[in-house]
Structure 1
């Protein structure tokens, strides 16, 4: 049997594996035959004519999406009981008020949002006396009913104020001094007059009476009861 030299075996193996260049055993980086398998392993060489690696498909991972849940913490107000000074009245949202002159009792709104107190009357007429401007007004408690039971009062006008309310025309109201009594406290305060008595509460007690005299608990009504007027104290 004819034998083949190792060189011919190397050339044949190079052709079988499809190499682009031939390498000889005495060259650096020559191909080697794996014993027992007949497979020729060609080394990786840099430079022109080297076998290029097969392209590998690279798949980029999907970006991780983080869902952030925003939680709004609701804070609840804490009710704190504040001690009230002993020399101040505690008033509810509505109290009975005695008005002088006139001697009438009115269920009145305690209005901390108004600087001055307000009184709605049945009739309001301005006139002049001794060179000064006065006002004639008729007072009747809501439960008294007819105009015949109204009390006529005349008072000097101290000044005027202009009241502007959304949706209404501005009003120029006269301001007089009246004595108001709530509970055991009587104060002489300024009261602005309006020609309107249709409201259920024609009297609104403002801050000029409450200042340094009372505190208001809007969750209560008629805390003080019927006032002690100066005539029956």
Structure 2
């Protein structure tokens, strides 16, 4: 009977000590972890968890880089050409009459008069009029051919000026020039300057009302076809 009373006393003391540690946690043993508060217990002496807060993250900055590619389109303009006009390139083969010599000529739309550079020019008088003898060298490809000589009356004189050179008084004669199948009688100024190579500049006096020029091409008309000569 006494043993049962002592056992009951020990249980009662343990229950009292447990309740005291719950009510006064600061008086419990050092280093012991605080006990969780029961439901409905005031939170004054127990560490509180932070309240949940809504966190709004800023949207990342998006930079749009626009890359512009410039494209240049070449515009091709078609120029109407009359059916009765020649289409010439920057360089064409010209037949000179009466010699029949065929030379390569530069088509010069900036020159008002056609110009022929000869090897030698010899002036003389015939029947009281001024004449000139023009000696022309054949093309370099035809090295066996002999120089051609033409004698023509001088129609007039013109004075030409070039930058860096003194002015020159040039004789002007009339010649039949053939390009393709077209032959025109035009004025040609003569010069013996610039060496012995035969060079002709086909000027506007041949091109006017007769031809148009495509500077991107050459030898469009091909070999001159003089009337009566195959």
Query: If the length of structure 2 is used for normalisation, what is the TM-score?
Result: 0.64
SS of aligned partner of 2:162: coil
Which residue pairs with 1:115 in the alignment?
112
Of 171, 177, 199, 1:174 maps to: 171
In the TM superposition, what whole-angstrom CA distance separates every residue of 1:204-229 from its partner, at most 9, and x where no partner exists?
11011111110000000000100111
Matches of residues 39-78 of structure 1 in structure 2 within 5 Å? Answer: 78=75
- Structure whose CA Rg is larger: 2
Native 8 Å contact 2:124 2:131 kept in 1: yes
Which residue pairs with 1:207 in the alignment?
204
Q: Provide the rounded CA distance (Å) in 2 between the counterparts of 1:141 and 1:229.
A: 18
Which residue pairs with 1:152 in the alignment?
149
For these two proteins, the number of residue pairs brought into alignment is 160
Unpaired stretches in structure 2, ≥5 consecutive residues = 1-71
Q: Provide the rounded CA distance (Å) in 2 between the counterparts of 1:99 and 1:140.
A: 12
Q: Provide the rounded CA distance (Å) in 2 between the counterparts of 1:173 and 1:131.
A: 20
Which residue pairs with 2:223 in the alignment?
226
Residues 1:221 and 1:199: Cα distance change in structure 2 (over 3 Å): farther
CA shift, 1:197, in A, is 6.2
Native 8 Å contact 1:122 1:197 kept in 2: no
Matches of residues 88-167 of structure 1 in structure 2 within 5 Å? Answer: 88-143=85-140, 144-145=142-143, 149-167=146-164
Unpaired stretches in structure 1, ≥5 consecutive residues = 1-74
Residues 1:201 and 1:126: Cα distance change in structure 2 (over 3 Å): closer
Query: If the length of structure 1 is used for normalisation, what is the TM-score?
Result: 0.64
Residues 1:82 and 1:154: Cα distance change in structure 2 (over 3 Å): same
Q: Provide the rounded CA distance (Å) in 2 between the counterparts of 1:76 and 1:169.
A: 46
What value does the CA root-mean-square deviation take over the aligned residues? 2.3
Native 8 Å contact 2:117 2:197 kept in 1: no
In the TM superposition, what whole-angstrom CA distance separates every residue of 1:18-56 from its partner, at most 9, and x where no partner exists?
xxxxxxxxxxxxxxxxxxxxxxxxxxxxxxxxxxxxxxx
Which residue pairs with 2:195 in the alignment?
198
Q: Provide the rounded CA distance (Å) in 1 between the counterparts of 2:159 and 2:139.
A: 26
Structure with the larger helix share: 2
CA shift, 1:200, in A, is 5.9
Runs of 4+ in 1 over 6 A off after TM superposition: none
